[in-house]
Structure 1
Amino acid sequence: MGTLTYDSKLTVALDDRVLAHLQAVVWSKLRRGEQFSFTWTDPTRNGMGRTSVWLSPNIPVAFEYFGSRLPKLNPAWLDALSKSANSPGGLTIVPEPEE
């Protein structure tokens, strides 16, 4: 389990594989100067079931991994996550499709 830290204040634990795919999509959008929302569910976090943040090139985001090896990225999942990020609802973690 790795972590995504938003603005040095909010941290969410995510599987390294999920985190690697999210990082690729987030970096791609932020590199282009795009702003977008990111929403995830976390039913174990202090009774809160859903969190949304606004991602912008001006807000620090850190990705920390438990494992030392980068998971193999699934292009179909990157595409699905990118489509989600470009939608009016913003980025959400969608199920991984088969390659």
Structure 2
Amino acid sequence: MGKLHYGYGSEAIVVPDELLAHVQALVTTKLRRSESFTLSWKQASDPTVGRSTIWLHCSIPLRFEFDTADAITLDRGYLSELAESAARGGVLIDLDAQDAPISAIARKTLEKAA
């Protein structure tokens, strides 16, 4: 499980490494182009929170931390779906799909976003 650190002193968002690699590719591409968007997630492990959202902007500190040092192969189809969602203004990811292959994560994420 990796971590996404966003802003100053905020609690890290725990994300499966494979999903975090896709989010990193999307976020770095969008922010390099000065394109801001929202990133939302639902995490069933915390029943007090329904869904969380952050506004991703290039002026806010951002750090990706992976448990694995190995490179993660990106699923271009899933990355394309994330990019299309970001172009519409926001991305919703499923943090509880930690043991699923990326195709299953993509399917669940897209179903929830629709």
Q: Quick check: TM above 0.5?
A: yes
- Identical aligned residues as a percent: 34
TM-score normalized by the length of structure 1: 0.88
Cross-structure match for 2:100: none
Cross-structure match for 2:13: 12
TM-score normalized by the length of structure 2: 0.77
Looking at structure 2, the residues matched to 31 and 17 of structure 1 have their Cα atoms a distance apart, in angstroms, of: 21
The root-mean-square deviation of aligned C-alpha atoms, in Å, is 1.6
Secondary structure in 2 matching 1:44:
coil
Structure 1 segment 1-99 matched on structure 2, within 5 A: 1-8=1-8, 9-45=10-46, 47-88=48-89, 90-93=90-93, 95-96=105-106
Unaligned runs of 5+ in 2: 95-104, 108-114
Name which of structure 1's ranges 3-12 and 58-67 shifts more when overlaid on structure 2: 3-12
Unaligned runs of 5+ in 1: none
Shift of 1:46: 6.3
Deviations 1:30-85 (A, max 9, x none): 00011111111112236212100111000011110001112100100110010111
Comparing both structures, which one devotes a greater share of its residues to helix?
Answer: 2
Q: What number of residue pairs does the alignment pair up?
A: 96
Looking at structure 2, the residues matched to 47 and 20 of structure 1 have their Cα atoms a distance apart, in angstroms, of: 27
Looking at structure 1, the residues matched to 74 and 28 of structure 2 have their Cα atoms a distance apart, in angstroms, of: 14
| Contact 1:21/1:73 (<8 A) preserved | yes
